[in-house]
Amino acid sequence: MKKFVGTSLVSVLLTLSFASSVALANESDRFLVEVLNKENEPIIESVHKDEVEELTDAKVLQPDYIRKIALQAGTWQAKSWGPAHIGADKLIERTRELEGIVIVAVIDTGVDTNHPFLRDRLVAGYDVLDKDSDPMDEHFHGTHMAGIIADTTPANVKIMPVRAVDKEGRGYDNHIAEGIRYAVDHGADIINMSFVGEEYSTYLADAIGYALEHNVVVVVASGNESIDTSPLYPAGEQKVIVVGASDRNDRIADFSNTGASIDIAAPGVDILSSVPGGSFKSYSGTSTATPFVSAVAAMLKLEDPTRTVLDIDRLLKKYTIDRGAAGWDPQFGEGILNLSTYDEKVTREILSPPMNVSSDTKSFPSQEGVPLNKSWRVTFDRALTQGDKVDIRINRSGKDVPIVTETKANEIIVTPIRKFFPHSNYQLLLFVENGGQYEMKFRTGE
């Protein structure tokens, strides 16, 4: 899970129960409303603000916020430098001959499906804006993102173009959420979203949650405004992989956003990739850093299709070069993505680390009949700060099970990605730096 920066926890109170910066203006001209269809069933539609008053029976849910691509001009490069810089060659060779495919959905402005560099790497996609199966890129951004993925992976990693952002580089939450659900329902393993916007969106968060619930890795750009990610979305989302941009010298790009949500950094300055019309061009931005991470996530999934969202997250963060402050920091996250030391044996150890439960571990009363979708609320005796280091795991038969954690002021909510097995024994483990170790055993019911 993400680390917090400040003082370490000295004491902790644990309770277990069911879980139930200044924002920037996001000027949207549309609202999401709940209306009844012909079958008298509630559905959600996007309506222009001038039409809202005419809908007498509609329930206004939230503005249909706008997200924008996270890209800026770069200096011309004669050749691609990113894949070699992150040591991708070793993993490309390992996965090139493996059976099956992994699909990366690029939710963006579409892709030039006729581009010679891309046309053999694509699977069927969708145009959310025009409601058809021709997601042709009318901008260039999506084609550039797809090219980075193709350049960093073997041919058995395929790209699903989903056009949800218009030719001006603007995408409404309504369209983006539809694109996410389309990608999940049509076999995507990874979702790349190289855009950012202001304001938290429940509607978009629900779509991201839908992807995570279906074990689809979601990778997003941190943004290019040199600001904190906390008022941004999805860049401020703790549940996804948030990517910052670095340069050839492994320095954080001066435009790259920073903050508590940052997970990892990747090359994002002067990145050469495909653009519509069969040509290539260099651009910079956290937009271009994000597909490097999506590409590596795809190869990790290709190597072992059983890997979960949590497995991929752990491996990405393990294979990094630490830059900035030691350990996690709000600029680089865990560090700059680098696979030069990738080793299959080490990878197995990362995914099945020893529990190292010491003899002085404090135990809480065991629980029986726990629901299969149970969330645990871990409450601390004070508000968490950004330097507190906390590791929470749920273990079954000696192996970690995939979980999602949500951090609030003084608590962490722990939820299984998939339902627990019925009538099974589990162990919740809590490790707090300078604060001790705790465990709680529980058994599920029906």
Q: Is 90 exceeded by the pLDDT of residue 20?
A: no
Per-residue pLDDT tens digits for 325-379: 888 899 999 999 999 989 877 787 777 655 455 557 788 889 999 999 899 988 8
Q: Enumerate residues 6+ apart whose C-beta is below 8 A from 315.
A: 300, 307, 347, 350, 351
Cβ neighbour number for residue 191 with a 10 Å cutoff: 28
Per-residue pLDDT tens digits for 225-266: 999 999 999 999 989 999 999 999 999 999 999 999 999 999
Amino acid 15: pLDDT: 40
Rounded to an integer, what distance in angstroms lies between the CA atom of residue 249 and that of residue 258? 18
Amino acid 359: pLDDT: 59
Amino acid 19: pLDDT: 30
Q: Is 80 exceeded by the pLDDT of residue 192?
A: yes
Instruction: Among 207-211, 300-304, 359-363, 408-412, name the one with the lowest average pLDDT.
Output: 359-363
Per-residue pLDDT tens digits for 268-327: 999 999 999 999 999 999 999 999 999 999 999 999 998 999 899 989 999 999 999 888
Cβ neighbour number for residue 127 with a 10 Å cutoff: 19
- Beta sheet of 195-198, edge-to-edge order: 170-172, 66-69, 195-198, 232-233
Amino acid 386: pLDDT: 67
Per-residue pLDDT tens digits for 103-152: 999 999 999 999 999 999 999 999 999 999 999 999 999 999 999 999 99
Instruction: Give the residue, 55 or 34, on which the prediction is more confident.
Output: 34
Catalytic: which of 141, 222, 263, 388?
141
Amino acid 383: pLDDT: 81
Q: Cβ distance 444 to 422 under 8 Å?
A: yes
Amino acid 425: pLDDT: 87
Per-residue pLDDT tens digits for 420-433: 888 888 999 888 87
Res. 23 pLDDT band, cuts 50 70 90: very low
Rounded to an integer, what distance in angstroms lies between the CA atom of residue 214 and that of residue 177? 15
Q: Hey, what amino acid is at 104?
A: V
Q: Is 50 exceeded by the pLDDT of residue 8?
A: no
Amino acid 224: pLDDT: 96
Amino acid 26: pLDDT: 64
| Mean per-residue pLDDT, 18-46 | 72
Amino acid 410: pLDDT: 83
| Active site annotation includes 287 | yes
* pLDDT above 90 coverage of the chain, percent: 62
Question: For the chain, which residues make up each domain, given as ranges?
Answer: 30-65, 67-349, 362-444
Give 251-265 as a DSSP string: PBPTT--BSTT--EE
Q: Enumerate residues 6+ apart whose C-beta is below 8 A from 342.
A: 87, 90, 91, 94, 319
| Mean per-residue pLDDT, 382-398 | 78
Q: What is the dihedral sign for C-alpha 236, 242, 245, 246? A: positive
Q: Enumerate residues 6+ apart whose C-beta is below 8 A from 335.
A: 264, 265, 317, 320, 321, 322, 323
Q: Cβ distance 27 to 49 under 8 Å?
A: no
Res. 7 pLDDT band, cuts 50 70 90: very low
Q: Cβ distance 416 to 27 under 8 Å?
A: no
Quote the pTM value: 0.75
Please, how many CA atoms are within 13 Å of residue 331, restricted to the half-sphere of its CB?
A: 14
Catalytic: which of 194, 222, 274, 287?
287
Amino acid 345: pLDDT: 75
Res. 56 pLDDT band, cuts 50 70 90: confident
Question: Alpha helices, DSSP H only, in 214-285?
Answer: none
Please say whether the structural domain 362-444 has been given the CATH code 2.60.40.1220: yes
Amino acid 10: pLDDT: 33
Catalytic: which of 64, 108, 151, 388?
108
Give which of 165, 178, 335 is closest to 250, Cα–Cα: 335
Please say whether the structural domain 67-349 has been given the CATH code 3.40.50.200: yes
| Mean per-residue pLDDT, 4-31 | 45
Res. 164 pLDDT band, cuts 50 70 90: very high
Q: Cβ distance 427 to 439 under 8 Å?
A: yes
Q: Is 60 exceeded by the pLDDT of residue 25?
A: no
Q: Is 50 exceeded by the pLDDT of residue 43?
A: yes
Q: Cβ distance 83 to 90 under 8 Å?
A: no
Q: Is 60 exceeded by the pLDDT of residue 4?
A: no
Q: Is 50 exceeded by the pLDDT of residue 5?
A: no
Q: Is 80 exceeded by the pLDDT of residue 445?
A: yes
